[in-house]
Amino acid sequence: MRRRSPRRLLGVLAAVTVAFTLFGSTSAAGAAEPGAATAARSAQAAVQPLSTSTPVVFVHGYTGNASNWTTAKSVFQLNGWSSSKLFAYEYNSYGNNITNAQGLATFVNNVKSQTGASKVAIVNHSMGGLVSQYYLKVLGGHTSVSHLASIAGANHGTTFASACLIYTTCQQMYPGSSFISQISAGDETPGDTKYASWYSACDGVILPYTSTRLSGATNNNVLCQTHIGYLADTIVLGQIARFVAS
């Protein structure tokens, strides 16, 4: 039997290692459409140049703040973004999400003016999904947004909000509210914006956990991640950075 040289064996092992590194983390965190078609699209995306020039606006969830995005910003920088292109919008968790969405519109306009960009990408978490969806759909913000990534977004509400119904924002976040009816009626993903969501049965706060899914978006089912755990999940955050760069 013909023996292979040590150099050739090392070359084969190196190729296998690179292939595993490229595709292993994505399959572990979850996939939108498993199968040969997805593998083909992934291979195609791998050879396409990625754009990291788009400013990113992070929108926190209920009772959150800009510090929630410390890990996310680090991951985006590792994926090629300059810190000067990463912004965190803060709003009043106990006020009104219509007002919060209007504030987001002003914030995005300021980011566009500061950076000279025609569009931004938005990455939201939890109740930040409601703020973002109202901005894009009702206020017409989709014309200023290239990508929307919703992480455990309360996009169709959560029964967990029953614990804080004293606040308008929580009333708006409860399933069946007039606010949710307004942002979910008709086209949930308007315009040319690319939409994606990440959701998990282990969430524990978004109930039902499928509430995050948006019709017309790429909806990624993460095998098991807690609601707050996403904010430190470098695998999911890396997927989101690559989505925004696509």
Q: Which residues are tagged catalytic?
A: 126, 203, 227
**Residues 169 and 131: beta-carbon distance below 8 Å:** no
**Residues 188 and 150: beta-carbon distance below 8 Å:** no
Secondary structure class of 178 (helix, strand, coil): helix
How would you classify the pairing of strands 120-125 and 86-89? Answer: unpaired
Distance separating the N- and C-terminal Cα atoms of the chain: 47
**Sheet arrangement for strand 218-222:** 86-89, 56-59, 120-125, 145-151, 194-200, 218-222
DSSP 187-240: -SS-TT-EEEEEEETT-SSSSSGGGG--TTSEEEEESS--TTGGGG-HHHHHHH
